[in-house]
Structure 1
Amino acid sequence: MSLAALAETDTVGLPPWVRLRFDRVRDRWVLLAPERVLFPCPTSVLILERLGDRRRLGEVIDALAEEFSAPRATISADVRRMLQDLADQGFLSVEARETMHG
């Protein structure tokens, strides 16, 4: 699924085979998947920590915008860009939620 079309009601999270862990040897966060490792920047770690098991994208954006007193549109663009990169690499799962329009 392309995150360009991701709705804020969609649920995003790390798939069961991906883990965010602090590596004490390297003294940094790592994103672990079978036979792959990513070294997320501190901003990416903040976003990933807010995903928990799975959360709606809009909730993550709202929480970050409030926490950092930043414009929601700016936070949304940054979060979506980071999540798109993870999705492209197979490190993110997305569950689309259908919404009723009426």
Structure 2
Amino acid sequence: MTAVLTPDSIPRLARGMKLREDTARGQWVVLGPERMFVPDEIALEVLRLLDGTRSVDGIVDELAARYAAPRGEIAADVASLLRELAEKGVVQA
């Protein structure tokens, strides 16, 4: 069962998951036990903000300020992305 991520949750990469730059291919990858995937630009921006201290709301605030985008849209996109990554075992609260 996947933990529910709320606005106050502090998401982080799940145990064994790592965000690394693959310089040979010129892209960022998420590595885990027996799996690897290449995040798109939006997912990469969110993953880079998973520092173990920032809440979901903090991530949304940072992205809304950085891109001068409507906070509500950013919040919905971040929640959806984190939920999907949590279901895949990449992120946990």
Shift of 1:85: 1.4
| TM-score normalised according to structure 2 size | 0.90
Distance 2:36 2:26 in 1: 15
Equivalent-residue separation in structure 2 for 1:2 and 1:72 (angstroms): 24
1:20-31 aligned at under 5 Å gives the runs 20-31=19-30
Q: Measure, in 2, the Cα distance between the counterparts of 1:23 and 1:41.
A: 14
Aligned partner of 1:60: which letter? I
Q: Given residue 88 of structure 1, which amino acid in structure 2 is its aligned partner?
A: E
Is 2:61 aligned against 1:62?
yes
Identity of aligned residues (%): 33
Is 2:8–2:57's contact at 8 Å kept on the other side of the alignment? Answer: yes
Match status 1:34 vs 2:17: no
**One-letter code of the match for 1:26?**
R
Unaligned ranges ≥5, structure 2: none
When the two chains are superposed, the root-mean-square deviation of aligned CA atoms in Å is: 1.4
2: CA distance between counterparts of 1:84 and 1:28? 23
The residue aligned with 1:100 is: none
- CA distance in 1 between counterparts of 2:29 and 2:47 reads 11
Residue 16 of structure 1 aligns with which residue?
Answer: 15
Amino acid corresponding to residue 35 of structure 2 in structure 1: R
Cα deviations by residue, 1:21-71 (Å, 9 ceiling, x for unpaired)? 010122111000010001100111111111123421110001111111111
1:50 aligns with 2:49: yes
